[in-house]
Chains A and B, each alone.
Chain A
Amino acid sequence: MSRMQNVVIETVKTALGWVPAQWLPGGTPDPLIERRVALGRQDSRLDGPAKVTGLARFAAEVPMERLCYGALLHSTVTRGRIARLDTAAAEAAPGVVLVMTHRNMPRIGTLALIGVSDLSAVGNSSLPILQNDEVRYNGQVVAAVLAETQEQADHAASLIEIDYAVEAAKTRFDDAKAAARTPASILIERNHVLVGNAAQEVDRAAHRVDNLYRTPGHNHNAIELHAVTVAWQGETLLVHDATQMIAPSANALAKLFGLKKQQVRVLSPYVGGGFGGKGLWDHQVVAVAAAKLVGRPVRLMLSRESVYRMIGGRSPSEQRVAIGADADGRFNAIIHTGYSVMPPYGACPEQYTMCSRALYNAKSFEIVQHHVDLDIVPNTYMRAPGEAIGTFAIECAVDELAHQMGIDPIELRRRNEPERHPLSGTAFSQRALTTAYAEGAQHFGWERRLAEPGARRDGEWRIGMGCASGSFPYARMPGAHVRLTLRRDGTVNLSCSAQEMGMGTSTVQVQHAADRLGLPVEAISFDMGDSALPAGSMAGGSSQTVSLAAAIMAATEKLTGELLRLAGNDSPLAGLRARDVQLVDAGIGDVADTARHESYRSILTRAAREEVSVIAAGSPPLEMLKFAMHSSSAVFCELRVSEVTGEIRIDRLLGSFDCGTILNPKTAASQFKGGMIMGIGLALTEETLFDARNGRIMNATLADYHIPVHLDVPEIDVIWTGIPDPRSPLGARGIGEIGITGVAAAIANAVFNATGKRIRDLPITLDKLL
């Protein structure tokens, strides 16, 4: 992001500051906040039957005639050039259809990096893909093989011989810090924030903490491997992909291969887990190019090792948090600064300081992030990018301060709870974190916690409790479109190129549309996962639900107008305007006079129409600029630490969430828990082992990168305030990423309470507690 963007965004924010709230979208609360029938119900996910029977078809499972299989070869050095390349043995191997290297890969441009300015820009790397002999990171794709079977392709790839002319590479985080960049912006926020003189305030504070926190690299590790099944059908391109970005990917591939948007169709009805990792990377481009060269459909499913080598994960970070407080515990300074990796060809700034801008009041602030440039696979967005590890730092620091001052950590947080956004002074759209803490503490039995570390025991186990806040900003994406088709029989079809990767996208939007249209859920169907449908936004930033909801709201308004026009003068609705009516009981009714009502069926029958179809886009998401909007949470943990081995067992975990209206308690609870479980991994076991000697990831397997297993996961309690956000569609805010935030800190704080040991570098493995 540029300095210019900072100026533009801040100018817009300033202008909006003068506009009364009710003039803005969301200014009048969504009436569905008060009128919920299907919404708020524990509906089971609609795609459950297809998934539990194995009939749901994922990207690598689409059958095709004349299919050939791809395998990739990765660089084994970090920087350098391909000095010798011998593909003869591979080409001669049984079943081989194509060996593609930079020599014969079609010449194409580079991908535009993911950005907020251009929503069709979805590249995770702007490096050339098989375009030249240059190697920029260890694991970069250097060749691809197509063969009649996967076994043949894999074997042939192992026969390619490459010698590299190795060049010096940047692989050491600590060494590269000296040359770190300090960008003007982090996403759409100004990077360097200075309010008052925080350094001085910390120095003269009655109480202060000032420490470094370190977090390692992580990988998303969706269980479904990245995969595409690609077919050129004449001049059109069909891509069955596992992607969180259907419409933008289609646009980007069209641009790259010189096609019109309509010539590319990306299908992705099911995605086997994404978490930010299932975007556009080199493999889709390689598969499309290879399929073009051989004139046959291609299936390319990455090996698990390939996923680690070429799909970037979460950046490592080194964060400094300093907090100064007066004798009453009121913060007079928050300093949150640090380093993370972001090579110039990458897209993700790992915005770990965002949480510290919104969580607490303080008299002064200093916030800034520095980007370290390493020669690595570009890191990317991973579930709660920034926030997941940023909350670890700030929320441990708050706990440390509370302990030092002898104050209960919840009370310390309460004393610093902001009434308005601490930096901008903007009003919060809705915020009840204090309530979430109070309810969470009560459910959890926080009063049983002993402030003195190491005071509770059970045999060889020391028991501790900890808590921490989570935070994630609200986002609604512009440009989400839906088609809404109302048929004479009273059924409705919604369609949009939206993504489903486990959030229950269709389930909750069907519930939404049912209430919006005054219909039972059985009358609604929802088609998605196809770029041929009206373009949805990507699934990211916990934004898809409200983005789609806003589009459905807009489509419903359009439909209402259309139906009133069709109803004409012979209808009981004659003379009513859109603002006078509501959609209820499978038809349109007068808000003021419930007797005036006509069913959809009646309107369409009289108008001799089989169906009415409208396409609409959601309103611009100006509420994001007008209000400070955040999901927030209070996370509580109770755990045991073995005095013998240092092993940690989490016994209880509770998340108390303040995320607006909860639309489907069943699927929402699953999302919250899922985030929290990923937080357990973040806290205790997960680490991408990057060997700085050679720039290579060494634990590129699920056996050596430890995500939590069933025995690591206790029964998790999830509660919520459920207070609607008056500024968002349906009163809802995002819930997909908030779950992971705060968890690592809650666990680290509980470990401290159990043992008296403060671990500031993740993961908290047992050797750190011996």
Chain B
Amino acid sequence: MAIRINGAEIAVPDDARVSLLGLLREQLHLTGTKVGCNQGACGACTVLIDGERVLSCLTLAVQADERSVTTIEGLSGAGSHKLQDAFIEHDGLQCGYCTPGQICAADAMLREIAAGVPSYITADLAAPARLTREEVRERMSGNLCRCGAHNGIVDAILQVAAERTA
């Protein structure tokens, strides 16, 4: 019984009520993953499980058993992630609290678009989705920001996406 978190094997907590978010923050002190609502309504707790973005607040830690979790701390790795640099450059943050969730979500979202997955606003569902500003806005809508850094966040994501395809 273990969860792989940022590469480390972590024992599953005894109390089944403990959310993945609670495990990360209170037991592992990985506090980069934030709690904004604890009810799946804000996206601040977004982490990657097996590379896919999910909400750690609604994930019981025990559900992540035998799976691989990446948090903002793991995304950074040794150096900084291109999205992190771009968020700073485009001022895609103010208070910084929703930021780790936005970055984790964006990281997974770019893979989703690369895989051609459509969104609600994709005109032609049968064709591979294209990356546009509006697509990014729709796909990032699960991550609330109250300071209003939306423009900078989208700019940062578009810049990283452009660099990847260049």
The residues of A with any CB-CB pair to B shorter than 8 Å are: 44-45, 47-58, 60-61, 63, 69, 149-151, 155, 220-225, 270-275, 301, 303-304, 501-504, 666-667, 669-671, 673-678, 701-703, 707-711, 713, 715-716
Contact = CB atoms under 8 A, between A and B. Distances in A.
Given A53-B84, A701-B41, A224 B144 contact: no
A666 B93 CA distance: 11
A367 B43 CA distance: 44
B91 A669 contact: yes
Contacts of B72: 52-54
A482 to B, nearest CB: 23
B31 A57 contact: yes
A273 B97 contact: yes
A55 B138 CA distance: 28
Contacts of A501: 94-95
B62 interface: no
Interface stretch (B32-40, B48-56, B122-130): B32-40
Interface of B: 15, 17-18, 22, 25-26, 29-42, 44, 71-73, 76, 80, 83-84, 87-89, 91, 93-100, 103, 121, 133-134, 136-138, 140-154
A701 B57 CA distance: 14
A674 to B, nearest CB: 3
A48 B34 contact: no
A51 B151 contact: no
B37 A502 contact: no
A145 to B, nearest CB: 15
Given A58-B31, A225-B36, A52 B146 contact: no
B36 A710 contact: no
Given A60-B31, A69-B26, A224-B36, 13 more contacts: A52-B87, A52-B103, A149-B26, A150-B26, A155-B17, A221-B146, A223-B42, A224-B95, A272-B98, A701-B39, A703-B39, A707-B144, A707-B146
A505 B48 CA distance: 32
Contact of A223 (B71, B80, B83, B97): B97
A674 B36 contact: no
A225 B97 CA distance: 10
A54 B71 contact: yes
Nearest to A57: B31
B35 A301 contact: yes
Contact of A502 (B25, B95, B140): B95
A54 B100 contact: yes
B151 A52 contact: no
Given A54-B32, A54-B33, A48 B88 contact: yes
- Residue of B31, B83, B147 with highest tally of chain A CB at under 10 A: B147
Contact of A709 (B29, B36, B133, B144): B144
8 contacts: A54-B71, A60-B31, A60-B35, A223-B95, A501-B94, A667-B91, A678-B148, A702-B37
A52 B80 contact: yes
B62 to A, nearest CB: 13
Nearest to A222: B146
A58 B97 contact: yes
A711 B137 CA distance: 5
A49 B80 contact: yes
Contacts of A51: 93, 96, 99
Contacts of B133: 715
A636 B166 CA distance: 36
A666 B15 contact: no
Contacts of B25: 60-61
Contacts of B100: 52-54
A54 B35 contact: no
Contacts of A671: 94
Given A52-B103, A503-B94, A703-B40, A673 B34 contact: no
Nearest to A702: B41
Nearest to B17: A151
Contacts of B36: 223-225, 304, 702
A711 B149 contact: no
A710 B80 contact: no
Contact of B154 (A675, A703, A707, A710): A710
B144 A273 contact: no
B116 to A, nearest CB: 20
A676 B148 contact: yes
A85 B76 CA distance: 50
Interface centre among B32, B84, B148 (most CB of A within 10 A): B148
A670 B103 CA distance: 18
Contacts of B15: 149, 151
Contacts of A52: 72, 80, 83-84, 87-88, 93, 96, 99-100, 103
Contact of A48 (B26, B33, B41, B93): B93
A222 B138 contact: no
Contacts of A275: 146
B30 to A, nearest CB: 8
A474 B142 CA distance: 36
Given A54-B73, A271-B95, A45 B88 contact: yes
B96 A56 contact: yes
Given A674-B148, A676-B148, A49 B32 contact: no
B60 to A, nearest CB: 11
Contact of B149 (A54, A272, A674, A676): A674
Contacts of B33: 54
Contacts of A60: 25, 31, 35
Nearest to B133: A715
B21 to A, nearest CB: 10
A221 B95 CA distance: 13
B146 A273 contact: yes
B80 A502 contact: no
Contacts of A716: 151
Nearest to B73: A54
Nearest to A666: B91
Contacts of A45: 88, 91, 93
Contacts of A669: 91
B73 A223 contact: no
Nearest to B98: A223
A709 B25 CA distance: 26
Contacts of A715: 133, 151
A710 B137 contact: yes
Nearest to B42: A702
A206 B33 CA distance: 61
A220 B121 CA distance: 30
Contacts of B153: 710
A50 B97 CA distance: 11
B84 to A, nearest CB: 4
A272 B150 CA distance: 16
B88 A270 contact: no
A678 B94 CA distance: 14
A51 B44 CA distance: 13
B166 to A, nearest CB: 22
Nearest to B121: A711
B31 A61 contact: yes
Contacts of A675: 148
B97 A222 contact: yes
5 tightest CB-CB pairs across the interface, nearest first? A54-B32, A51-B96, A502-B94, A674-B148, A272-B97
A274 B147 CA distance: 9
A304 B138 contact: no
B142 to A, nearest CB: 8
Given A710-B138, A713-B137, A716-B151, A151 B96 contact: no
B138 A711 contact: yes
A147 B31 CA distance: 20
A715 B137 CA distance: 10
Nearest to A501: B95
A224 B151 contact: no
A710 to B, nearest CB: 4
A711 B99 CA distance: 17
B37 A304 contact: yes
A707 B31 CA distance: 25
Contact of A701 (B30, B37, B154): B37
A677 B148 contact: yes
Given A150-B26, A223-B97, A223-B145, A272 B34 contact: yes
